Structure 1
């Protein structure tokens, strides 16, 4: 299993296009969105400045990109290419394959989170306590496991040709409706009510709670836990179903 994990890490780090969109793109998008805002302009209803609010949103977006986009399409293509079937002939357990995929995506997601934080602190003068920086990094990185499970599920749900549009719709839908690109507090009332049930909204809310030095809302934690159980359970069921077909 360790050999497969190393292979996945090497493949992820060699994919320059994937690295750009998962590591560099979120920082660029942060500068574009927060570019004209100063350190005193606040997001209505959040109590946070625009740079601080969007820093967490874009760090979450970067981690989401790495684990969701990285897993789904690659798994679908490996299924069609016979690579997964070959691995099943070895002693590698099924959970080992999923773990290797998650580890490869997690390694890429961490730099994307850290780079957004560095850019926000250096360019937009975002200032937090040391413990907040560490807590933010840990929560955003750990929270990405929810979407890693979703990426695995999508990889087993669709074929190589169909997985990209399905993943893109899911990816942009969760990002936009969850308030990662535009603060959810600016949405109409009915859309704000919908956003609160999305895991991306709860995901970013954890980081925003750390920025405000308060405990996260129980509802946000519940949404993330339930989402992870649903996504991981779906991934496990689809994996077993795919195994029976092989």
Structure 2
């Protein structure tokens, strides 16, 4: 009898924990969606940039349309991770929201898990917008498996930027965090060859490109659509996994001491 009661209690606890994760993710997504300062730039800038540079300025250039579709998919997923963590965590930490979350009756990992799921959802929305534009206006033609693979890369590729954003959010104050994130976001995109092929950039930029997460994610994206790329998929995945794990480990220690 006691065993049955304990099993039922354990099952109920798991159901309640799962429900807490789902609700936290749902409300985080709605909160961000209702924040125009985050939602509008994150959702609209990558498609608008692709429309300008990938479609209008390279009309009839299929190679450019395919290349920029892959790299702008990477550019698009950077924002939800960097801003969704780097700015929102800084604001919530400064306002005491993190301290309230610690004493709330919810699983300890629900706060970060909800933000990661929010970032992944935004990444998929951005990718879907870019994919529709690339197919309808850019002349991009891919196999169904390639569309799906690139979508998966976009969804999971946001995680390194969540980790990097969390590092910023754990240290920067609310007023400084947007400037710090922008200082990371735009230069890193340029130095990784997201706006133009690295072959068009100076040699020293090509030499240091391997230091940036967007470069490795872009190479995976280019490989997924059958375009010329550098290095092996295993090397790029290993870099991104290690980078994400290290950033999350450091941020976790900082977050534990954050007020």
Q: Report the TM-score when normalising by structure 1.
A: 0.89
Separation of aligned partners in 2, 1:92 and 1:149:
22
* Greater shift in the superposed pair: 16-25 or 106-115: 16-25
Partner deviation per Cα, 1:107-151 (whole Å, 9 max, x = no partner): 222110111111011001100111000011001211111111111
Alignment correspondent of 2:212: 198
Preserved CA contact (<8 Å) 1:12 1:108: no
Separation of aligned partners in 1, 2:182 and 2:155:
21
* Greater shift in the superposed pair: 106-115 or 201-210: 106-115
Runs of 5+ in structure 2 lacking a partner? 1-19
Q: Secondary structure at the match of 2:165?
A: helix
Separation of aligned partners in 1, 2:24 and 2:241:
28
Separation of aligned partners in 2, 1:216 and 1:16:
39
How far does residue 182 in structure 1 lie from its aligned partner after superposition? 2.2
Separation of aligned partners in 1, 2:91 and 2:41:
20
Equivalent runs, 1:170-181 vs 2, <5 Å: 170-181=184-195
Of 216, 225, 237, the residue aligned with 2:241 is: 225
Using a 3 Å threshold, how does the CA distance of structure 1 residues 213 and 192 change in structure 2: closer, same or farther? closer
How far does residue 217 in structure 1 lie from its aligned partner after superposition? 3.5
Alignment correspondent of 1:36: 57
Structure 1 residue 239 corresponds to structure 2 residue 255: yes
How far does residue 90 in structure 1 lie from its aligned partner after superposition? 1.6
Alignment correspondent of 1:156: 170
Q: Secondary structure at the match of 1:92?
A: coil
Structure 1 residue 128 corresponds to structure 2 residue 142: yes
Separation of aligned partners in 2, 1:36 and 1:162:
35
Preserved CA contact (<8 Å) 1:71 1:155: yes
Structure index of larger Rg? 2
Of 110, 125, 129, the residue aligned with 1:96 is: 110
Preserved CA contact (<8 Å) 2:50 2:69: yes
Separation of aligned partners in 1, 2:154 and 2:67:
14
Using a 3 Å threshold, how does the CA distance of structure 1 residues 153 and 92 change in structure 2: closer, same or farther? farther
Preserved CA contact (<8 Å) 2:123 2:155: yes
Using a 3 Å threshold, how does the CA distance of structure 1 residues 53 and 131 change in structure 2: closer, same or farther? same
RMSD of aligned residue pairs (Cα, Å): 1.8
Alignment correspondent of 2:196: 182
Q: Report the TM-score when normalising by structure 2.
A: 0.85
Runs of 5+ in structure 1 lacking a partner? 42-48
Alignment correspondent of 1:86: 100
Separation of aligned partners in 2, 1:104 and 1:142:
12
How far does residue 213 in structure 1 lie from its aligned partner after superposition? 7.3
Structure 1 runs of 4+ off > 3 angstroms? 38-41, 213-218
How far does residue 39 in structure 1 lie from its aligned partner after superposition? 4.6
